[in-house]
């Protein structure tokens, strides 16, 4: 029984406000995934608000207050019992401006680690190329990268300025190499994500190795004075493929983080399900 309605409202107002705030967040983000603790808290707030509404029902309380609580109870009932089964629709604009930035910021540490490992590999690859040129045969996966950069540039210029038949032959070689490079980079990105299942070790190795390739090539061409050719060669595809590869590494490290577990004590299956949507967004 309520004796002092003003004291009752003051005491229970924080409960109603918390329930309203939680409902607002759920309504803004229909794809939100709640932890078990959040679900229990939402249900507790709902039960207490229902009880408060019932206690006010027999009193000549403020009609606006009753309407407010009835609205809260109805919204909470819909969230708890209504379910959230919506058909999936990919919205590119929302993905680019909302979903992807949110997921990226959530796992920014994994991205920074992927960048750091790649840069470390690039430093080691450049150092190996500088002090042990024969090491190019070990770190560079394509045979035409293992020769002298100036010889390659001269051949490319000769093919570009040669006869029509030679020009077509050079164009075919370029298209073949471009397709090989695209296929290679796509495979590397897929493996970089998939190897997160090795608790991140495979992802780290792949990030380091591809950084070593990049560092070896860049240093080799800059040392030969072919920086302009290198820029024109790498920028068209590298400006997209290198960030995409690092993002795949970020996703692999996120997967590794889910496998290794966190301090919240959630079981493996729940951690993987909670991470699945983030991995899809990143890739």
pLDDT tens by residue, 102-142: 999 999 999 999 999 999 999 998 898 888 777 677 777 66
Task: Tell me: do 217 and 263 sit in the same domain.
Answer: yes
Q: How far apart are CA 252 and CA 203, in angstroms?
A: 6
End-to-end Cα distance, the chain: 57
- Asked, for residue 87, whether it belongs to a domain, the answer is no
On whether residue 53 sits in a domain, the answer given is yes
User: From CA 220, how far away is CA 137, in angstroms rounded?
Assistant: 13
Q: Is there a contact between 252 and 259 (Cβ–Cβ < 8 Å)?
A: no
Domain count, the chain: 2
Q: Give residue 217's pLDDT.
A: 85
| pLDDT at residue 245 greater than cutoff 80 | yes
The answer to whether residues 166 and 209 belong to one domain is yes
pLDDT in tens, 165-197: 444 555 565 556 566 666 767 788 888 999 999
Band (pLDDT 50/70/90 cuts) for residue 91 is confident
End position of a domain, from candidates 30, 58, 81: 81
Same-domain check for residues 133 and 34: no
Residue of 174 and 215 predicted with greater confidence: 215
pLDDT value at residue 231: 84
Is there a contact between 225 and 148 (Cβ–Cβ < 8 Å)? Answer: no
Query: pLDDT value at position 165?
Result: 43
Q: For the chain, what is the mean pLDDT?
A: 80
| pLDDT confidence bin for 164, thresholds 50/70/90 | very low
Instruction: Please check whether residues 68 and 192 belong to one and the same domain.
Output: no
Q: How many Å apart are CA 116 and CA 109, to the nearest integer?
A: 10
In a domain, 159, yes or no: yes
Query: Is residue 278 domain-shared with residue 222, that is, in the same domain?
Result: yes
Do residues 191 and 70 both lie within one domain?
A: no
pLDDT (0 to 100) of residue 115: 95
Tell whether the model's pLDDT for residue 1 goes beyond 70: no
pLDDT band with cut points at 50, 70 and 90 for residue 62? confident
- Are 52 and 128 in the same domain? no
Whether 137 and 233 map to the same domain: the answer is: yes
Of the three residues 81, 111, 131, the one that is the final residue of a domain is 81
70 with 123, same domain: the answer is no
Kindly state whether residue 262 falls inside one of the protein's structural domains.
Answer: yes
Question: For helices 268-282 and 227-260, what crossing angle results, to 10°?
Answer: 160
Distance of alpha carbon 159 from alpha carbon 164, whole angstroms:
9
Predicted local distance difference test score (pLDDT) of residue 166: 46
User: Are 173 and 276 contained in the same domain?
Assistant: yes
Average pLDDT over residues 135-163: 68
Q: Which domain holds residue 41?
A: 5-81
Q: Which of 81, 114, 143 is the last residue of a domain?
A: 81
Verify that 114 and 247 share a domain, yes or no: yes
Residues 201 and 103 in one domain: yes
For residue 86, is it within any domain? no
């Amino acid at each position: 029984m309520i004796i002092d309605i003003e004291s009752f409202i003051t005491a229970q107002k924080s409960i109603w406000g918390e329930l309203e705030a939680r409902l607002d967040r759920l309504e803004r983000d229909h794809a939100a995934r709640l932890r078990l603790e959040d679900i229990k808290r939402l249900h507790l707030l709902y039960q207490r608000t229902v009880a408060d509404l019932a206690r006010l029902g027999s009193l000549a309380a403020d009609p606006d207050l009753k309407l407010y609580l009835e609205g809260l109870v109805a919204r909470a009932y819909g969230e708890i019992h209504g379910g959230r089964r919506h058909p999936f629709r990919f919205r590119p604009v929302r993905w680019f401006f909302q979903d992807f930035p949110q997921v990226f910021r959530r796992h920014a540490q994994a991205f920074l680690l992927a960048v750091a490992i790649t840069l470390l590999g690039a430093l080691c690859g450049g150092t190996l190329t500088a002090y042990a040129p024969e090491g190019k045969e070990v770190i560079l996966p394509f045979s035409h990268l293992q020769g002298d950069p100036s010889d390659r540039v001269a051949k490319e210029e000769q093919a570009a300025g040669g006869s029509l038949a030679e020009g077509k032959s050079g164009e075919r070689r370029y298209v073949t190499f471009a397709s090989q490079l695209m296929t290679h980079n796509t495979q590397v990105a897929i493996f970089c994500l998939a190897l997160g299942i090795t608790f991140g070790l495979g992802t780290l190795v792949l990030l380091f190795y591809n950084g070593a390739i990049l560092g070896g090539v860049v240093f080799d061409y800059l040392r030969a004075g072919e920086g302009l050719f290198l820029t024109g060669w790498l920028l068209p595809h590298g400006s997209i493929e290198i960030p995409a590869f690092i993002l795949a590494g970020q996703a692999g490290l996120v997967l590794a983080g889910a496998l290794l577990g966190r301090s919240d004590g959630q079981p493996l299956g729940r951690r993987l399900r909670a991470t699945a949507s983030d991995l899809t967004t990143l890739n």
